[in-house]
Amino acid sequence: MKTSAIVFPASKFRSNLAKLKVKFAVASAALLLAFSAQSADKNYDNLHKQLTIMNDIMLSSAKATQHSRQSLIRSIESVYLQGQGAIFTIKSNHRGSSHRQFFQTVAPLEPLAPLEPLAALEVLAPVNDGERVIISTDEDLVLDFGEIDFEAQEDELERVIEVFEQQREGAREIRGEQREIAYELRDIDRQRKDIEYQLQRAENKSKKELKAELKKLEVNRNALNKNKIKLEQKVTKLNQQREEQKIAQSEARKEHFSALNNALVETLCLYGNGLREVPSKEYVSFIIKGAGEQQDRGFKDQILVFNKQDINACANSKLTAKKLLAAAERYQF
């Protein structure tokens, strides 16, 4: 039996082999990309579900007290950044934030100088841009309440507006009393100068009457000075009350956000394993709106960044919640 072989030129054989390799590489890459895309979509779907569940857990777990029904969180949103981790943006339910706590502290009157017009009430400082409510008449007072659910907070809104109106009315009364005393004192001084001028040219009979008028003016002046002292005491007391109120509200704000931070960290320790799709080399971050220091007419946001490995360690009882919070990166922005 005879066999025969077909001989191809070596150059043509190498060219065909190279084309086959290219086609195989392209097909392999296409299959790999399709598989990777399918796998990535599946992972992100799972991750989205895990973030949504964690949102609900945080919202229900962050209570003002152990038996309270009210959450420390008004709203929470989450997103995942590949290579970085999960980010939770949290708006507090604090009514003294500003912000945007719900409400900022009622702005105090500036210190009241004796017999000087009172400074106008400062504008309420918002944490973010929001609705503007203009109250009253001659000296418009503008309150910024940020993104507030007015229907849910209707009673609180009415209370704050009432407080503002009461303080404005009290300040208006004090200003009126100050102006009245100042006017009457100036009037007494003017009358005294007129009488003293008349005394220099009056006859003896008239001088007796003029001196009697001077004594009456002096009595009135002394009475006005006593009223002035009482008014100054009232102003001092008002300023002290405002300062005490400011300190108390500041302390309440600190306690609120401290409780919120602790509640969030405890939630991570209890349920952090639920974020299984977040790689251990990435991070879980909290952006707590308005929880930072005051800046201009608002408050900075506080950012807490947790290492996912630390969260896993806390969830497995290898790290305490206190140490997890201490290990977090903190800054304000």
Instruction: Write the pLDDT tens digit of every residue in 196-232.
Output: 888 888 777 788 888 888 888 888 888 888 888 888 8
**CB-based contacts of 47, cutoff 8 Å, min separation 6:** 80, 86, 275, 277, 278
Q: Select the highest-mean-pLDDT range: 76-85, 95-104, 110-119.
A: 76-85
Q: Which residues pair with 134 in a beta bridge?
A: 142
237 in any annotated domain: no
306 in any annotated domain: yes
**CB-based contacts of 125, cutoff 8 Å, min separation 6:** 98, 99, 104, 107, 144, 294, 296, 297, 298
Q: What's the pTM? A: 0.58
> How many structural domains comprise the chain?
1
- Segment 169-178 mean pLDDT: 80
81 in any annotated domain: yes
Residues 251 and 99: their CA atoms lie apart, in Å, by 15
285 in any annotated domain: yes
pLDDT per residue as tens digits for the range 280-322: 999 999 999 999 998 888 899 999 999 999 999 999 999 999 9
- Segment 264-271 mean pLDDT: 94
Residues 307 and 279: their CA atoms lie apart, in Å, by 10
Residues 97 and 156: their CA atoms lie apart, in Å, by 14
Classify the C-alpha dihedral 187-193-199-201 as positive or negative.
negative
Residues 82 and 41: their CA atoms lie apart, in Å, by 13
User: Is 123 in a helix, a strand, or coil?
Assistant: coil
Among the listed residues 274, 281, 270, the one whose alpha carbon sits nearest the alpha carbon of residue 306: 281
Classify the C-alpha dihedral 48-54-57-63 as positive or negative.
negative
291 in any annotated domain: yes
Contact 101, 290 (CB under 8 A): yes
Note the maximum CA span of the chain: 169
275 in any annotated domain: yes
User: Is 70 in a helix, a strand, or coil?
Assistant: coil
Q: Are strands 85-92 and 283-289 parallel, antiparallel or unpaired?
A: parallel
pLDDT number for residue 62: 85
115 in any annotated domain: no
Hey, what are 273's tokens? 């394993």
234 in any annotated domain: no
Q: Which range marks the domain in which residue 312 is found?
A: 42-98+258-332
